Amino acid sequence: MISNGKSKTVIELHVNGDSHEVMVRSGDTLLDILREQLGLSGAKRSCENGDCGACTVLADGKPIHSCLSLAIESCDQSLMTIEGLMGSPIQQAFVDNWAIQCGFCTPGFILNCHALATEHPNASDEVIEEWMCSNLCRCTGYQEIKEAVQSVVRASGNA
């Protein structure tokens, strides 16, 4: 299909357990499609160069920066946004440990920390700190975020 002189293609994305047909141009980022076509606004548009992590989503369980990922390359992946983690232990741990301030970075941090707790259920403080480096927060000193992750690891009985 042609629109405004640019070719568009219909693809299927698997997001939060549901399949969605979306129309994309070859250069559309996953962030653009999630926010503009699917109405999933949890992934935030911020630096748009992969430095801050505000746009983090999970692709096959791994954190990715959706501002750097082309939507068309995400067809064969299982994607999860913050909207797909509602009521999860890590989300509750962020609330319980006051690991939020303004909230702008929180969705990306929660997804990143969910992947960390899943992949490294016995995560040491050093591993937690290493994983946290991919996301930036301008409001906290990161201690509360680290405590939220630690509480999830301890609660699983693996620490």
Please state the φ and ψ torsions of residue 103, each to the nearest 5 degrees.
95, -10
Mark 14-38 as b/e (b = at least 16 C-beta within 10 Å): bbbeeebebebbeebbbbbbbbebb
Quote the DSSP letter at residue 47: S
- DSSP for residue 120: -
pLDDT for residue 158 = 47
pLDDT, one tens digit per residue, over 129-145 is 898 888 998 887 788 98
For residues 16 and 23, the answer to whether their CB atoms sit within 8 Å is no
Residue 61 has a pLDDT of 97
Q: pLDDT band at 6, cuts 50/70/90?
A: low
What's the Rg (C-alpha) of the chain? 16
CATH, range 87-155? 1.10.150.120
CB 109 within 8 A of CB 99: yes
Q: Tens digits of per-residue pLDDT, 38-59?
A: 999 999 999 999 899 999 999 9
pLDDT at 3 over 60: no
Q: What is the DSSP letter of 132?
A: H
Q: Does 2 score more than 50 pLDDT?
A: no
* Amino acid 93: pLDDT: 94
Confidence of residue 4 (pLDDT cuts 50, 70, 90): very low
Give the helix ranges, DSSP H, for 1-136. 30-36, 89-96, 106-119, 125-132
Domain ranges, ordered by start, for the chain: 2-83, 87-155
pLDDT interval class at 157 (50, 70, 90): low
The predicted-structure confidence for 59-93, as pLDDT tens digits, reads as follows 999 999 999 999 999 999 999 999 999 989 999 99
Q: Are strands 56-59 and 62-65 parallel, antiparallel or unpaired?
A: antiparallel
What is the pLDDT at residue 1? 36
* pLDDT number for residue 65: 97
Tokens at 107, concatenated:
């969705």
Helix (H, G, I), strand (E, B) or coil at 39: coil
Domain 2-83 matching CATH 3.10.20.30: the answer reads yes
Distance of alpha carbon 83 from alpha carbon 1, whole angstroms? 31
